[in-house]
Amino acid sequence: MTSTEFRIGGDLGVRRLGFGAMRLSTDPGRARAGALAVARRAVELGVTLIDTAHLYGGGANEELLAEALHPYPDDLLITTKVGVARTGPGGEWKLDGRPALLRDQVDQALRRLRVERIELLQLHRIDPATPLADQVGTLRDLRTEGKIGRIGLSEVTVDELGRARKIVDIASVQNRYSLLDREYEPVLAACEASGIAFLPWRPVAWGEAGATAGIAAVAAELAATPTQVALAWLLGHSPVLLPIPGTARIDHLEENVAAERLELTPAHLERLDRLYEAG
């Protein structure tokens, strides 16, 4: 039977099926009320891993989660990301991993999330204009100072992961990955070998019509939805995969969380793998 739990960094226990908060609206009025309700329902359903980022509204998403969920349940992990800022020409978003900026964004996240320590802090992207050692080294220093518990990376290659691990322990990787999108399979293999959590973003991505039909066929056999099949496949594919599907609707959230109870047989897994291999 597929395990439903994972210990990030070897000690921080979470349920493997998490929630991505990016789609939650931070606009005032009914949209915000709906977003607060979705976040609260996720916790009611037993979700213990919620992913956000400074990029999501310049910290507004972090503030929304704090409004919805603070004081937090003891078993809830809210992980956030830093390293993207409005520092481009004209104030547009750009990768920015300068140490002073990373420190400032971590301090902002601590204030917005109303916590004294971020148990898992991820570098949203590696900034090619700043030495990797400066970026990861800053996060290492923040961990030493007690502001960060564990450090993760996002959208990295095997080589980048290896270089970062020479500087500091890496507890998680957050790369794009799904049943039909496996560009980062080598990174997943590296994470498996070292017990590093892999948080696939865009975990449900549909490809060619034939592949979609194949997923729908498996779903029909199991009285499930194609989305549930895609999420169940991730949970069964590797024990280090921690999917974080996002939604702004409670019915979709409940559908996603229910995927944890869907058991795919070896025959189903083989059929689904063939869809990717034929793509």
- Catalytic pick from 56, 72, 177, 184? 56
Structural element, H or E, at residue 185: helix 185-194
Residue 267 within a domain: no
List, for residues 145-196, the tens digit of each pLDDT value: 999 999 999 999 999 999 999 999 999 999 999 999 999 999 999 999 999 9
Long-range contacts of 113-116 (CB under 8 A, 24+ apart): 113/62, 113/65, 113/66, 113/70, 113/78, 113/80, 114/66, 114/70, 115/72, 115/78, 116/146
Active site residue 56: yes
List, for residues 220-261, the tens digit of each pLDDT value: 999 999 999 999 999 999 999 999 999 999 999 999 999 999
Residue 195 within a domain: yes
CB 59 within 8 A of CB 67: no
C-alpha span between 66 and 60 (Å, rounded): 10
Collapse the DSSP code of 253 into the 3-class scheme (helix H, G, I; strand E, B; otherwise coil) and give the result.
helix
Residue 34 within a domain: yes
Residue 264 within a domain: no
What are 170's two structure tokens?
A: 């890496």
C-alpha span between 244 and 248 (Å, rounded): 13
Collapse the DSSP code of 81 into the 3-class scheme (helix H, G, I; strand E, B; otherwise coil) and give the result.
strand
Q: What is the pLDDT of residue 3?
A: 86
φ, ψ (nearest 5 deg) of residue 95: -65, 130
Residue 261 within a domain: no
Q: How far is CA 98 from CA 37, 138, 139, 154, 171, in A?
A: 36, 9, 11, 16, 21
Q: What is the pLDDT of residue 277?
A: 83
List, for residues 112-148, the tens digit of each pLDDT value: 999 999 999 999 999 999 999 999 999 999 999 999 9
CB 232 within 8 A of CB 206: no
**pLDDT confidence band for 62 (50 / 70 / 90):** very high
Kindly tell me if the per-residue pLDDT of 90 is higher than 70: yes
Q: Which domain holds residue 126?
A: 5-206+239-249
CB 172 within 8 A of CB 8: yes
Residue 254 within a domain: no
Q: How far is CA 168 from CA 63, 138, 173, in A?
A: 29, 10, 14
CATH number at residue 22: 3.20.20.100
What total number of domains does the chain contain? 1
Residue 100 within a domain: yes
C-alpha span between 233 and 180 (Å, rounded): 11
Residue 256 within a domain: no
* Best CA proximity match to 48, nearest among 14, 4, 9: 14
